[in-house]
């Protein structure tokens, strides 16, 4: 009997039953016609699960994913291996389950990540407020931005969204400020032949720490290069 077990390969079930293939298939067709079992397509062989077994597994799958999204709202989804362990499935069974759940429009799977279909990572209200406070504080001092006081995942998400540009572990510029500074550096070097840290610092009323970090970042990005104490364009 299938009971509420996860999907199993049909050849394995036939072997366990000891029935001839024709009788086994006849029994399967009867149960399938009664809606008591589901036959899941796979590349190598059909997999079979009871209707009740699939219902319970589907509930566990969607519940696990919704819980994960609530806990980690900024992550695209859960890693396949972590999901497999949480569901208690073996490595052969998980792809069958994911394929069927995807066919039923319950989930999406890309590479090694799984999420509820239609889910989009977004900050919680508390995270949105923390982010708004940070952006407001940075706008007050755009050229000497305060160090972000955000949790690591939220900060990484904001950078990924293109709203902040990370120059170091402590220094993050607004994207629009970064573009403004970059345009100025390029124009200044083009017109003056080079750029010193002090010139940048004085132009924007900032400190040497911010000026040097920005210019070193441009060096690392191969936009500029240092010749003595002067930056020139590459």
Q: How far apart are CA 178 and CA 165, in angstroms?
A: 7
The pTM assigned to this predicted structure is: 0.77
Kindly list the domain boundaries of the chain, sorted by start residue.
8-116, 124-234
What are the phi and psi torsion angles at 79 (to 5°)? -70, 140
Topology match between the domains 8-116 and 124-234 = yes
C-beta atoms surrounding 17 within 10 Å: 12
Q: Topology of domain 124-234, per CATH?
A: Arc Repressor Mutant, subunit A (1.10.10)
CB distance 172 to 210 below 8 Å: no
> What is the model's pLDDT at position 1?
56
> What is the model's pLDDT at position 102?
96
> What is the model's pLDDT at position 182?
98
DSSP β-bridge partners for residue 233 = 224
Tens of each residue's pLDDT in the chain, 234 residues? 577 888 887 767 766 777 777 776 776 777 777 777 888 875 556 888 999 999 999 999 999 999 999 999 999 999 999 999 999 999 999 999 999 999 999 999 999 999 999 999 999 999 999 999 999 999 999 999 999 999 999 999 999 999 999 999 999 999 999 999 999 999 999 999 999 999 999 999 999 999 999 999 999 999 999 999 999 999
Helix or strand (DSSP H, E) at 149: none
CB distance 183 to 172 below 8 Å: no
Inter-CA distances, 86 with 49, 68, 82, 146, 202, Å: 19, 11, 6, 40, 56
Q: How far apart are CA 131 and CA 114, in angstroms?
A: 27
Q: What is the DSSP string of 78-99?
A: EEHHHHHHHHT--TTHHHHHHH
In CATH, the architecture of 8-116 is Orthogonal Bundle (1.10)
């Amino acid at each position: 009997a299938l009971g509420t077990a996860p999907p199993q390969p049909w050849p394995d079930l036939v072997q366990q039953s000891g029935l001839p293939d024709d009788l086994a298939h006849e029994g399967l067709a009867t149960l399938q016609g009664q809606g008591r079992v589901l036959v899941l397509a796979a590349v190598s062989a059909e997999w079979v699960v009871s209707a009740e077994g699939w219902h319970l597994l589907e509930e566990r799958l969607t519940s696990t994913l919704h819980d994960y999204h609530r806990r980690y709202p900024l992550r695209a989804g859960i890693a396949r291996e972590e999901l497999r362990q949480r569901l208690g499935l073996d490595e052969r069974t998980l792809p069958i389950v994911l394929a069927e759940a995807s066919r039923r429009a319950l989930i999406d799977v890309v590479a090694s990540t799984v999420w509820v279909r239609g889910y989009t990572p977004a900050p919680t209200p508390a995270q949105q407020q923390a982010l708004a406070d940070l952006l407001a504080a940075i706008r007050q001092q755009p050229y000497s931005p305060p160090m972000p006081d955000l949790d690591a995942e939220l900060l990484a998400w904001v950078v990924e969204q293109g709203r902040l540009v990370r120059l170091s572990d402590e220094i993050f510029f607004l994207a629009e400020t970064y573009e403004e500074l970059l345009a100025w550096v390029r124009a200044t070097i083009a017109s003056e032949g080079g750029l010193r840290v002090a010139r940048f610092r004085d132009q924007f009323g900032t400190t040497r720490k911010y000026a040097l970090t920005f210019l070193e970042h441009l060096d690392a990005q191969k936009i500029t290069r240092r010749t003595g104490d002067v930056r020139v364009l590459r």
